Amino acid sequence: MNSMKALAFMETHKLEGFLDAQRAVVAHIQTVAEDFFSFYPDALPRAIEPTQVYLLLGSERGFCGDFNQALLKTLSAQANNTASNPARIIAVGGKLSALLENSPETTLLEGASVLEDVENILVQIIDTLSQLQTQNGDISLTIIHHDPAEDTVLSAQVMPPFASLHGTAPQFSHPPQLNLKAETFCIELIDRYLFSTLFEILYLSLIAENQRRVSHLEHAVQQLDDKSAALLRRGNTLRQEEITEEIEVILLSTSNLY
């Protein structure tokens, strides 16, 4: 357990370095988007009666408490299912998938155990989203994940993208100079935004999972240490009782000699 805790702790520190860089990328894209859409508001994507898709980022491995159950609780509170257009669910992580294997309209994907797995998981998510979009038309994507800073579950709607930028006032007197057509630039900007945001949230989720695992294992190790100490005290007490009984037998035997 101590070895598992140490590995989770090391993975957390490795991920934090990548998360800082990814946050800077997302922040830069957001700044570019604010400038672009303030001058080209008609380019903002608008989904008409989209199919709701929920992406749940669970754990691939265990020893992290109610990590996955908390995601399902949040999903249950938010999901808006109708008979004609039920919500689709993408569950990422082996332990989470085991809880949803019999759920309809659910796609089950493997999760990341270490940083190096994140890129492959991202590709699988994008492929699944593309299939859902082909089958159902416009989709609205909400990601439900754990936040390591607040130790809570967050829900982030990332599609349609840049929904908060409707009506943004220009910050500059002249529009940005583009080397592409506005429509082409918009498509590429959205692609970069989705990839970068998904990377950031996958990093956040994996950090939160490892933090929860460290905490869970620390508690488990402490419980084992407490039980070990209690057993040792109990053993010492029993040994003392045995010694006392042996002394009493010797004293009784001695008294019978006189």
Q: If you average pLDDT over residues 51-64, what whole number do you get?
A: 90
Q: Where are the domains of the chain?
A: 2-214
pLDDT in tens, 221-239: 667 767 877 888 888 888 8
The pTM assigned to this predicted structure is 0.80
What is the per-residue pLDDT for 47?
Answer: 63
Per-residue pLDDT of 86-131, as tens digits, reads: 789 999 999 999 999 888 888 999 998 888 899 999 999 999 999 9
CATH of 2-214, one of 3.30.470.20, 3.30.230.10, 3.40.50.150, 3.40.1380.10: 3.40.1380.10
Q: Which residues pair with 106 in a beta bridge?
A: 89
In the structure, what pLDDT confidence band is assigned to residue 154 with cuts at 50, 70 and 90? very high
Q: Is the pLDDT of residue 82 over 60?
A: no
Backbone phi and psi for residue 48, each to the nearest 5 degrees, phi listed first:
-105, 115
Mean pLDDT of the region 138-161? 90
Q: Is the dihedral of CA 157, 115, 105, 65 positive or negative?
A: negative
Residue among 178, 98, 86, 181 at smallest CA distance from 135? 86
Q: How far apart are CA 167 and CA 38, in angstroms?
A: 7
| pLDDT tens readout for residues 200-212 | 999 999 999 988 8
Burial 181-217 (b: 16+ CB within 10 A, else e): eeeebbeebbebbbebbbbbbbbbbbbbbbbbbbbbb
- Is residue 166 within 8 Å of 33, Cβ to Cβ? no
Residue % of the chain over a pLDDT of 70 = 91
Burial (0-12, 13-18, 19+ Cβ within 10 Å), 81: exposed
pLDDT (0 to 100) of residue 118:
92
CA–CA distance, 99 with 105 (Å, rounded to integer): 14
Residue 170 has pLDDT above 90, yes or no: no
Which tokens belong to 71?
Answer: 């995601």
Distance separating alpha carbons of residues 192 and 176, to the nearest angstrom: 18
Rounded to the nearest 10 degrees, how much is the dihedral formed by the CA atoms of 217, 223, 224, 229? 150
Q: What is the mean pLDDT of residues 24-50?
A: 85
- For tokens 């929860």, what's the residue? 212
Mean pLDDT of the chain: 85
pLDDT value of position 221? 65
